[in-house]
Amino acid sequence: MADDLGLLVRCESPSADIAAVAASADVVAELGARLTGVAPERIVVDGRTHLRWRFGPAGAVPGILLLGHHDTVWPLGSLAEHPWRVADGRAYGPGCFDMKAGLVQLFHALASLDSLDGVSVLVTGDEELGAPSSRPLILEEAARADAAFVLEASADGGALKTARKGASWYEVRVRGRAAHAGLEPWNGVNAAVELAHQVLAIAALDRGPDGATVTPTVAIAGTTANTVPGTATVHVDARVPTVAEQRRVDDALSDLVPRLPGAHVEVVRGPRHPPFEPVASAGLFALASSVAVRLGLPALTSAHVGGASDGNIVAGAGTPTLDGLGAVGAGAHAPGEYVEVAEMPRRAALLAGLVTAVRSAEWVASEPAGWSPGTKPGSRHDTARP
């Protein structure tokens, strides 16, 4: 498994580099075909390369989606500074933890199963960008699935991710009126001052670590040092625990009004992920806990996290979802990112056990009250499973 991880890590795949992502897809496709015996469908959308496997006859029940991505945040050349290596039981290298080790675990788990009927695998190439081209593919597979397992890296200590905040991105644009800052500043409408008012209003929407976090980020104003700024912008990153909070923040940003006479404010909505709320994972986490006991693994723990993933899209579509089944390690997106190699076969065994358990009546018994994946809107099944 470490050797396979080295193959993926040594093929750098920054999300913004279409050619690099395509080359990485070749390596992932070869790994998956070697371990499952089936070549993937290669899907290119807006130049970005995604891979999909669908195993078994159409209509196999229950449907199980395994979801991951092969793009990373690391630019080409990062291997020179952060080379692939294994030392003292840890594997290092750009993207090893987020989330190439999860892909290795996924395919080794599938290789251990007698049958893959009903399993779909989707490996996207733009997760780190917010899934701009892969979102329709994710939703298509979510509609076919009765359960989804996301191979993103685990939370601290190997915890599974049972909830994620939703994410919304915005750009707030201010238009004022430029003027000479020395000769006649009074004839201008200072977009930087207007932006300052808006930033304070945006920051006031924040509800702290356990609620919605609303963070003004990159701010730009003006053109030259001796000109009253005529334009200004600020980007906003909003992370929300519930659909209601996502709506509250969205409405509040839409209602922003200018404070200075003559200023104009425009709010442009960017990508968004719905919240992944705990009810979406409750049954699958209970199932995973029982599988771990049977396998003799340590008791599983869970975490609610602020970062969004493709799992938000699947859970938001109504599919029971469990995230964080990938690598155990630390340092995502940071120098020193690493994976605990000894945990890789254990996590692969857990995933294989989950796929097997979902096929049994045990999964039906573990579903939380009020959650019926067999009849969820958009599912290919319009009657409850026997």
Active-site positions read 71, 127
Are the CB atoms for 374 and 384 separated by under 8 Å?
A: yes
Tell me, letter by letter, the H, E, C secondary structure of 275-313.
Answer: CECHHHCHHHHHHHHHHHHHHCCCCCCEEEECCCCHHHH
- Structure-token match 């092969």, residue found: 70
Tell me which residue of 359, 295, 355, 365 sits closest to 325, measured CA to CA.
Answer: 355
How distant is the alpha carbon of residue 77 from its chain centre?
24
Q: Count H helices, E strands: the chain?
A: 11, 18
Which amino acid type is present at position 306? G
How distant is the alpha carbon of residue 323 from its chain centre?
9
Please state, in angstroms and rounded to a whole number, the distance separating the CA atoms of residues 150 and 83.
27
Is the preceding omega at residue 62 within 30 degrees of 0, hence cis? yes
Please state, in angstroms and rounded to a whole number, the distance separating the CA atoms of residues 256 and 128.
29
Contact partners, residue 36, CB within 8 Å, separation at least 6: 53, 55, 107, 110, 111, 116
Q: How many CA atoms lie within 13 A of 20 on its CB side?
A: 20
Q: How many CA atoms lie within 13 A of 19 on its CB side?
A: 1
Contact partners, residue 153, CB within 8 Å, separation at least 6: 97, 98, 99, 101, 102, 324, 326, 327, 328, 329, 332
